[in-house]
């Protein structure tokens, strides 16, 4: 059983903060495990396959620069996560930190943002996992069977929920295998591309595109500022997920330092992977609109799938396995932060106490994990039955949820540490300026993305003359406000909002 953790003031001079014991298995993960979870949760192979073509469509040759620009606000927020975790290593992350900085309402909505992004993206991951599994069978035509794909996706969510329920160590073992599979496969794919580039010509109907430093020229990229903003918003999605290693902070060695280091390291590793692989793919396939060109509309949903046979020949199925492993890996790690977030909300009284229960033997958030799995399955099935186009648009709205809770975390960091910023240059930059700038950039991204989604031509659906992505995004965020109001008056949770602990709960777990 874990014991109550009290952090020291640290370099920022912030008083130590007590973290209520939850019963999680403490100290089971090390720095390597933390970094692995951060990388796995982003599903880097799938993220590149599904997003690279879309960024090329908007930004062309400047795609590598866009990937770097999209990394800037992510890095700044990673520092905010690291600094807040050093003071309050609670698995509730954004929920706990926002509550400490701004009060119970901000905390509750921050927790909702984390859970919402996780539930919606699980629907997308389940669908992709179902499709890719059946692509490996026979001629791949079974991947077009909607019922079969949906049933397979539901099964994958259920299995990964069970893995998380059974224990963090089991999950880590599963994660390690999936990580090896996807990175070895991606490595073989990248090596084959390098060989093709070195040989001087690509197979098929394309020729090698030579590297050009102009791809990183901001002057050329910003000739169309709107395209830069659009591309950065797309890049924001592919970086999302590294914060999973913060959600398992109470199960990590040195919880106030190791998870924060893991978050920053995984963020840097991700940008290195994305930019290097993007450069190789651009040089090999080019950004043209013919054949395997990244600008070909037929390839934009999955550039790796379009390239696999040209690059790997009869071994093309390896990249399908890599994407499948990437999606399954992300499915498992996405359940981790959502379950631990609601666990913390239950412990602190923001949700009914049942959410705060930890399985005595497995030392995992038993009830919260089951609820998150069930919620993801219900959402996926409902959207699949209602409209696959609406499901696609609701997934597009994830950028709103990510920008919302990442920005809230940045503001919380600046405000929580505001009295210590003048104590050192380190505090000023890493607890003040960088988190605040990251939060402001993401706030701008939120509103720009919302305006784009308002356009009825955006996405695959429109509702009342407005883009379906905007409607679904706003409705889901608004649902959080409705649920927060309900919890404000629910006997089991109103003490969280009023500062009066309900029966059986101490005031130490309430906002200070």
Tell me, what DSSP letter sits at residue 314? G
pLDDT score of 30: 94
- Give CA angle at 28 (23, 126), nearest 5°: 85
Tell me, what DSSP letter sits at residue 252? B
pLDDT score of 511: 40
pLDDT score of 509: 41
The residue whose two tokens read 């690291």 is: 82
Q: Which of 354, 417, 363 is nearest to 164 (CA)?
A: 363
Q: Residue 472, exposed/middle/buried by CB under 10 A (0-12, 13-18, 19+)?
A: buried
Helix or strand holding residue 6 (H, E): strand 5-6
Enter the pTM of the model.
0.92
Distance CA 45, CA 378 (A): 27
Distance CA 404, CA 240 (A): 12
pLDDT score of 234: 83
Residue 66 near residue 232 (C-beta atoms within 8 A): yes
| Lookup: tokens for 391 | 């499901």
Q: Please state the separation of Cα 155 from the chain's center in Å.
A: 21
pLDDT score of 506: 44
Instruction: List 317's β-bridge partners, or say none.
Output: none
3-class SS letters over 375-402:
HHHHHHHHHHHHCHHHHHHHHHCHHHHH
Q: Could you tell me the CA-to-CA distances from 474 to 125, 241, 327, 399, 446 in Å, in that order?
A: 22, 22, 26, 12, 11
Helix axis angle for 258-285 and 168-199, nearest 10°, is 30
Per-block mean pLDDT, blocks of 10 residues, the chain (512 long):
42 55 90 92 90 90 95 96 96 96 97 95 91 88 92 96 94 91 94 88 64 92 87 87 94 95 95 95 90 87 89 92 94 94 96 95 96 95 81 79 96 97 96 98 92 84 83 91 96 91 44 42
Sorted by sequence, the CB contacts under 8 Å of residue 211 that are 6+ apart come out as: 279, 283
- Give CA angle at 477 (471, 479), nearest 5°: 100
Helix axis angle for 168-199 and 146-166, nearest 10°, is 130
- DSSP letters of 173-197? HHHHHHHHHHHHHHHHHHHHHHHHH
CA-CA-CA-CA dihedral for 207, 209, 210, 216, to nearest 10: 180
């Amino acid at each position: 059983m874990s014991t109550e953790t009290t952090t020291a003031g640290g370099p920022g001079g912030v008083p130590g903060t007590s973290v209520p014991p939850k019963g999680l298995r403490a100290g089971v993960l090390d720095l390597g495990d933390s970094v692995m979870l951060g990388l796995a949760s982003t599903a880097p192979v799938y993220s590149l396959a599904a997003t690279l073509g879309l960024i090329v469509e908007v930004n062309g040759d400047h795609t590598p620069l866009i990937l770097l620009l999209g990394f800037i606000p992510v890095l700044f927020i990673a520092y905010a996560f690291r600094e807040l975790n050093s003071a309050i290593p609670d698995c509730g992350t954004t929920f706990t930190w926002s509550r400490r900085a701004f009060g119970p309402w901000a905390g509750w909505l921050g927790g909702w943002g984390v859970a919402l992004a996780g539930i919606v993206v699980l629907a997308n991951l389940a669908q992709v996992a179902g499709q890719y599994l059946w692509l490996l069978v026979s001629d791949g035509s079974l991947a077009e069977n909607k019922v079969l794909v949906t049933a397979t996706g539901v099964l994958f969510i259920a299995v990964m929920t069970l893995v998380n329920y059974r224990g963090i160590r089991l999950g880590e073992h599963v994660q390690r295998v999936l990580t090896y599979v996807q990175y070895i496969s991606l490595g073989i794919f990248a090596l084959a591309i390098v060989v093709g580039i070195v040989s001087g010509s690509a197979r098929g109907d394309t020729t090698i595109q030579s590297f050009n430093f102009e791809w990183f020229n901001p002057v050329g990229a910003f000739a169309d500022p709107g395209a830069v903003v659009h591309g950065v918003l797309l890049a924001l999605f592919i970086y999302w997920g590294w914060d999973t290693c913060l959600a398992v902070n109470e199960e990590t060695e040195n919880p106030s330092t190791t998870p924060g280091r893991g978050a920053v390291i995984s963020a840097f590793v991700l940008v290195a992977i994305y930019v290097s692989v993007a450069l190789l793919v651009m040089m090999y396939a080019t950004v043209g609109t013919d054949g395997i060109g990244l600008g070909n509309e037929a390839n934009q949903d999955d550039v790796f799938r379009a390239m696999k046979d040209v690059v790997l020949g009869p071994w093309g199925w390896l990249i399908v396995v890599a994407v499948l492993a990437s999606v399954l890996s992300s499915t498992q790690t996405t359940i981790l932060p959502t379950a631990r977030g609601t666990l913390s909300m239950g412990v602190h009284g923001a949700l009914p106490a049942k959410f705060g229960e930890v399985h005595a033997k497995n030392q995992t958030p038993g009830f919260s994990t089951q609820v998150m799995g069930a919620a993801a399955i219900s959402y996926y099935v409902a959207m699949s039955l209602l409209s696959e186009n609406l499901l696609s648009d609701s997934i597009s709205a994830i950028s709103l949820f990510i920008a919302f809770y990442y920005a809230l975390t940045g503001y919380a960091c600046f405000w929580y540490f505001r009295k210590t910023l003048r104590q050192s240059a380190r505090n000023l930059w890493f607890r003040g300026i960088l988190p605040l700038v990251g939060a402001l950039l993401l706030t701008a991204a939120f509103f720009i993305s919302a305006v784009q989604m308002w356009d009825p031509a955006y996405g695959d659906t429109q509702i009342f003359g407005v883009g379906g992505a905007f409607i679904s995004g706003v409705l889901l965020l608004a649902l959080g406000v409705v649920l927060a109001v309900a919890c404000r008056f629910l006997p089991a949770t109103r003490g969280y909002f009023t500062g009066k602990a309900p029966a059986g709960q101490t005031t130490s777990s309430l906002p200070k």
